[in-house]
Structure 1
Amino acid sequence: MRILVTGATGFLGGATARELVRCGHTVTGLGRDATKGAALEAGGIGFVRADLRVPADWRPALDNTDAVLHAAARSTLWGRWPDFVADNVTVSREVARACAVRGLRLVHISTPSVYNATRLSHQVPETTPIGPRFDTLYARSKYLAELEVTQAHPEATLLRPRGIYGIGDTSIIPRLARALRAGRLPQLVRGEVHTELTHVRNVAHAARLALERPAPGLYNVTDGVPVPIWATLDALADALGVARPGRYVPARVVENMARVLELAARLHPARPEPALTASGVRLLTRPMSLDLTHARTRLGYAPVVHPAQGLAQVLAAVRS
């Protein structure tokens, strides 16, 4: 199958593009980073340098394509709403429309961050009512993108992988490592909080399954096994050779402090990302697991990397 991957110079897009090539598919990646593009080409992946906000940059690449994996997104807890709309909502709509017109299979990467403002936290299904409130601008933009994609391309597959991690991660582990090194992360809970994460290879596996078989609809994706957040933070601190989170400060107090920092950042002309965000605090203090029944039964999904293995690899890389 000839597959076009958007965001191929990113963490998830690159990992999935390499997985697809290993499985015998012909893959072309889109991205803006020519250096990373050259690395993809060295691995047998075609590369087209493109700005997804400019349709003329990427539409010609659809002419020799059977399917598209749309992995590109503005994925951050902080930013300007017009940028989230441009990169997540508008681009997703245009990609979906272009695929629908050409009859191409489309797999769109969304996020379970859309669930964060709901009251559910255990075995959350895809049918969970969402909105009108959202935890972050990112979550809101990704939900609006889902609506645009399903309207433009009803046969599209949408994946909601939670907390993507692995070697090469540029978000979760680096953010936590910076907080631990700075010594600004207190113990926010008494006891433990369990959540689910998704190793990047498991997301790539789910994406490949969705590309290889028609499976329209929404699918949660995780490693399928809850992990203890604070024990994992302790292990990360040990790997970094820094102090573990020590003194206890109630999560509500820290979240209120984060809101003050956010307000100050919004009033600043440059709107810099604050050192702490309220949504970031909630991610460390709220349990979450997702119902994988849909993915298991309709996609045939089963995780290929267990979180114990995946996190051990990440911690080993941190130590080295």
Structure 2
Amino acid sequence: MRVLVTGATGFLGGVVARELAVSGHEVRGLGRDAVRGRALEADGVHFVPLDLRDQPALMGLIAEADAVVHSAARSTLWGRWADFYADNVEVSAAVARACAGAGVRLIHISTPSVYNATGQTRNIPETTPIGPRFDSLYARSKYLAELEVQAAHPEATLLRPRGIYGPGDTSILPRLALALRVGRLPRLDGRGEVHTELTHVRNVSQAVGLALARPAPGLFNITDGVTIPIWATLDRLADALAVPRPTRQANPRALEGVARILEAVYALHPRRSEPPLTASGVRLLTRGMTLDLTRARQRLDYLPVLHPDQGLQEAIAEAAGQAAAHA
């Protein structure tokens, strides 16, 4: 099968493109990072440098594919709405329209961040009503993208993987490792342990492969299928880094209030980088989330290929190794 993967120079897209190539598919990977593009070529992925806002070029590439995995996105908790809308909503809509017009299968990568403001935290199903409030511009843009994709391409598969981690991750564990190393992370579990679910990048790739082999339209939650304790995991990470475990207690609500003030100040200068503290970031460490995987298990035959016991152990070891290399 000829598969086009957007965001192939990113974390998830790179893993998906490589694993699809290993599985025998003819894979084209789109991205803007030439160095990572050369690495993709070395692993059997044909790299095509492209800005996804270049719609004529993108449409031509989609027309030559049998399937598209749209994993590219502006994935951050901070930024301007205009950029989120252009990169996440408009591009996703264009990809979906092109795929539908050319009869090309589409697997769209979304996020369970759309559930954050629903008030639900345990065993959340895909049928959960969402909006009109969202806890971040990112979540809002990804939900609007889902609506555009479903309207343009009703047969598309939309995956909502929770907290993607694994080799090559530049977001979750590396950022937490840095916060631990500089002693910036307070203890926010005053009311008890916070339980959540994560998803190893190989498990997301597994779900993509299943969606290609067994087409199933609609939304699907994806996780490792196992609940993990956030603060116990952070203690494990601190031990691996050989730094003190966080002990300085802070009130989560008060800290979230401080974060909102910082966000308001930083918003006055839109080109300024992300503030050192965001309300969404605080909530990720203080509000757990587990997802109902029934649909994925029944319709995609989804079964995680990597258990978090192994996946987290490897990811923590990698984070510790990176920290030692930069010490």
In structure 2, how many angstroms separate the alpha carbons of the residues matched to 1:31 and 1:272?
22
Contact 1:51–1:57 under 8 Å retained in 2:
no
Task: Specify the alignment match of 2:207 in structure 1.
Answer: 206
Show the 5 A alignment for 1:1-320: 1-190=1-190, 191-268=192-269, 270-320=271-321
In structure 1, how many angstroms separate the alpha carbons of the residues matched to 2:104 and 2:268?
44
1:26 shift after superposition: 1.0
In the alignment, residue 185 of structure 1 is paired with which amino acid?
L
1:236 shift after superposition: 1.1
Alignment root-mean-square deviation, CA? 1.0
Cα deviation, 1:217-237, whole Å, max 9, x if unaligned, reads 000000000111001111111
- State the SS of the aligned residue for 1:227: strand
1:249 shift after superposition: 1.1
Q: TM-score, normalised by structure 2?
A: 0.96
Q: TM-score, normalised by structure 1?
A: 0.98
The structure-2 alpha-carbon separation of the partners of 1:301 and 1:269, relative to structure 1 and needing over 3 Å to count, comes to: closer
1:182 shift after superposition: 2.1
Contact 2:80–2:270 under 8 Å retained in 1:
no
Cα deviation, 1:244-299, whole Å, max 9, x if unaligned, reads 11121111111111111111111235332110101110110111100000000000
In the alignment, residue 101 of structure 1 is paired with which amino acid?
G
In the alignment, residue 131 of structure 2 is paired with which amino acid?
G
- State the SS of the aligned residue for 1:74: coil
In structure 2, how many angstroms separate the alpha carbons of the residues matched to 1:181 and 1:276?
16
Percent identical pairs in the alignment equals 69
1:60 shift after superposition: 2.1
* Structure 2 gap ranges (5+): 322-327
Contact 2:160–2:221 under 8 Å retained in 1:
yes
1:240 shift after superposition: 1.8
Cα deviation, 1:44-75, whole Å, max 9, x if unaligned, reads 11111100011123222223310000000000
In structure 1, how many angstroms separate the alpha carbons of the residues matched to 2:300 and 2:89?
26
Contact 1:30–1:58 under 8 Å retained in 2:
no
In structure 2, how many angstroms separate the alpha carbons of the residues matched to 1:13 and 1:136?
23
* Structure 1 gap ranges (5+): none
Task: Choose 109-118 or 250-259, whichever is displaced more.
Answer: 250-259
In structure 1, how many angstroms separate the alpha carbons of the residues matched to 2:313 and 2:270?
42
Task: Choose 97-106 or 14-23, whichever is displaced more.
Answer: 14-23
In the alignment, residue 244 of structure 1 is paired with which amino acid?
R
